[in-house]
Chains A and B, each alone.
Chain A
Amino acid sequence: MKYVIIGNGVAGIHAAEAIRHLDAEGRLTLIGDETFPPYCRPMISMVLEGATPPERLPIRSTDFYRRLGITPILGRRVSGIDVEARVVRLPGLEDGIPFDRLLIASGADPRPITADGLHLAHIFYMRTERHIREMLDAIPTVKTALVLGGGLVGFKAAYGLLRRGIRVTQLIRSAYPLSMQVDRTAGEMILNELVRKGLDVRVGLSAAAFHGNGRVEGARLSDGSEIACDMVVIGKGVLPALSFVPRDRIDVDLGVLVNAHMETSVPGIYAAGDAAEFVDIARKTRWVNAIWPEAAAQGRAAGMNMAGRPVALKGSLSRNVIRIFDMDVMTGGWVDPPESAGFEILSRHDRRRKTYRKLVLDGRRLVGMAMVNDIAQGGLLISLIQNEVPLRISGNALLSSGFNYRQLLN
């Protein structure tokens, strides 16, 4: 059996390990565009902030490929897939790489923005270990930074730069940060905390142009105003990296569509992680949940299926945990559904203790939750959402942090 995995990230690595677990003989090729050892992408913001040294990023040792009998092809991007001939095309490789089972775990790339002057130095995306290294090289000469985007990446960039003693201005389109993860109440709590720590947030704005002499010195915003900055970080979300996927042969929406076995519309070709579009358990609709734990689980399942053990996943679930300054935030499922969805919303906001808990209920089924500064048992709620367990206690009892696991069993 010839296995080919496109992607050297967490999904690809877990798939490779699952395949080796079940099939010690098959030929296994792994293609990745980064040359750094397989590493933990969520941790790059901790390197930026200075909390973690870069040496701590790798999740597997350098002899990982040798130990598992994997042929790595690193530093190159796949240029195409020939579905009929069952071959992966690589630039500079005439014949390509033949496969019996293929996994598309190519991950995602930062969503590009359109603005003048993007060629200037000190304008960064924040996605890879290399981006962080470049940012760290620039930081000693930086006094003020501009962060575009109020999502997780923009938010972590702003936090990291603040911790480095840089004056940071963040431009966000929505009224509060992390609007995809949290609701207004939690978003405003986070915003207040960051503002209190010195972040300058401007809402409803974007950058139209950058100017400077060789390196960026300032930006013109969408309202015509000017702002000076020595560094720009663009964090406007990510898009699945699928330029090589033949869309006339393999069904692709935002990501590659997969079934419960992580298989695409073409038998023998699988997808997992940020590149895959699966069913969201809470929303009951197709969704790309580009998060680390999903990528690990999907990669593992895809690998098992590729090696011939049929493993089905139920769906994916959005969830996030963020710890910044003195604040803990955990969210899971559908946190801020539209009113038309008809869900019951329960929440408890303690302004004095600065805690907030919110539950979204569909009848007796929990579909979403958000917790601020009170996250210890959050995993339990996420597992209730994930497993669609009907609640046996009232939602209000679940809201109080004192509830016990036993109460859910009775």
Chain B
Amino acid sequence: MKQVVVHPERCVGCMQCMLACATAHSKTLHLFTAVREDPLPKPRIHVGAGIHGEGFPNRCRHCDPAPCMLACLPGAISRIPETNTVVIDPDTCINCASCAMACPFGVIRYHGDAAAPPGKAVAVKCDNCTARQKKGMVPACVEVCKSGALTFEEPASALGRKTREVARSVSRDAGGEPIAPGFALLNAVKRSQIEMEKR
């Protein structure tokens, strides 16, 4: 089963994924109409900045066992086994924030949502774009990510590739494989800027 894999070293912090995510979870599914909706659609992926100003797309890991699922008082959080997705039922959610207390990644937010009863704030988090996947589409954040920081692939093959990259980087004369020259340069610039500000 394909999963969204995050490669933080490739994130440039453009936040396109946030926009795409919010649009994919709106009523009208189009950016130009979504911005006029009530409640205003909000992203479920959150791009923040690391210590050196590098981007980091923070999204639900769909943990197993999921701490939020164990902590949910009314039993609104469940797992779709077919896609290994942890989802929140907005009708059952009582907005108690127990899941926010349990989530070690801080990815659950509380607000009104197109899928929730009108006027009701509920716990909202990534649902792996289940609705899009049913139509044969990839998750919205992956579709718009142009830097390759978000990919949709088999976890086993992603892991295998990573293992090979690490293995190659430790072999004597390989010297590691750069992701792409651009990223290394960008991250180096950000790092030195921060260092200069500190001085």
| Partner among B48, B94, B102 whose Cβ is within 8 Å of the Cβ of A293 | B102
Residues of B within 8 A of A320 (CB): 101
| Partner among A59, A332, A379, A409 whose Cβ is within 8 Å of the Cβ of B108 | A379
Residues of B within 8 A of A409 (CB): 50
Verify if A292 is at the interface (C-beta below 8 Å from B): yes
Do A328 and B97 touch across chains, with their CB atoms under 8 A apart? yes
Docked complex Cα distance between A334 and B90 (Å): 33
How large, as a class, is the contact surface on chain B?
Answer: 20 to 34
Verify if B179 is at the interface (C-beta below 8 Å from A): no
- Bits for B92-109, please: 1 = Cβ < 8 Å to A, else 0: 101111111111111011
| Partner among B8, B70, B95 whose Cβ is within 8 Å of the Cβ of A323 | B95
Residues of A within 8 A of B71 (CB): 292-293, 296
Verify if A51 is at the interface (C-beta below 8 Å from B): yes
Residues of A within 8 A of B52 (CB): 410
- Bits for B63-94, please: 1 = Cβ < 8 Å to A, else 0: 00001001101110000000000000000101
Do B75 and A321 touch across chains, with their CB atoms under 8 A apart? no
Verify if B58 is at the interface (C-beta below 8 Å from A): yes
Verify if A56 is at the interface (C-beta below 8 Å from B): yes
Do B50 and A376 touch across chains, with their CB atoms under 8 A apart? no
Residues of B within 8 A of A195 (CB): none
Do B106 and A376 touch across chains, with their CB atoms under 8 A apart? yes
Determine the residue in chain B with the shortest Cβ distance to A292.
Answer: B73
Do A56 and B101 touch across chains, with their CB atoms under 8 A apart? no
Determine the residue in chain B with the shortest Cβ distance to A46.
Answer: B94
CB distance from A19 to the nearest CB of B (A): 16
| Partner among A378, A392, A407 whose Cβ is within 8 Å of the Cβ of B101 | A378
Determine the residue in chain B with the shortest Cβ distance to A379.
Answer: B103
- Contacts of B26-67 to chain A: CB distance below 8 A: 48-52, 54, 56, 58, 67
Do A330 and B101 touch across chains, with their CB atoms under 8 A apart? yes
Docked complex Cα distance between A375 and B50 (Å): 20
Do B74 and A382 touch across chains, with their CB atoms under 8 A apart? no
Residues of B within 8 A of A392 (CB): 51
Do A406 and B8 touch across chains, with their CB atoms under 8 A apart? yes
CB distance from A372 to the nearest CB of B (A): 13
Do A376 and B109 touch across chains, with their CB atoms under 8 A apart? yes
Docked complex Cα distance between A393 and B108 (Å): 23
With A52-B94, A56-B74, A410-B52 already in contact, the answer to whether A405 and B100 are too (CB < 8 A) is: no
Docked complex Cα distance between A40 and B96 (Å): 13
Verify if A402 is at the interface (C-beta below 8 Å from B): yes
Verify if A383 is at the interface (C-beta below 8 Å from B): yes
Verify if A319 is at the interface (C-beta below 8 Å from B): yes
- Contacts of A253-307 to chain B: CB distance below 8 A: 292-293, 296-297, 300
Do B96 and A380 touch across chains, with their CB atoms under 8 A apart? no
Residues of A within 8 A of B92 (CB): 56
Q: Could you give 13 example pairs across A and B, Cβ below 8 Å?
A: A292-B98, A319-B101, A320-B101, A321-B96, A321-B98, A330-B101, A375-B97, A379-B100, A404-B49, A405-B105, A405-B106, A407-B50, A407-B51
Q: A40-B74, A320-B101, A379-B106 are in contact. List 11 more A-B contacts (CB 8 A).
A: A42-B98, A43-B94, A56-B74, A293-B71, A321-B96, A376-B100, A376-B108, A377-B100, A403-B48, A406-B8, A406-B50
- List 5 tightest A-B contacts by C-beta distance, closest first: A404-B48, A406-B56, A383-B104, A377-B106, A406-B50
Which residues on A are within 8 Å of B, measured CB to CB?
40, 42-43, 46, 51-52, 56, 59, 292-293, 296-297, 300, 319-321, 323, 328, 330, 332, 375-380, 382-383, 387, 392-393, 402-407, 409-410
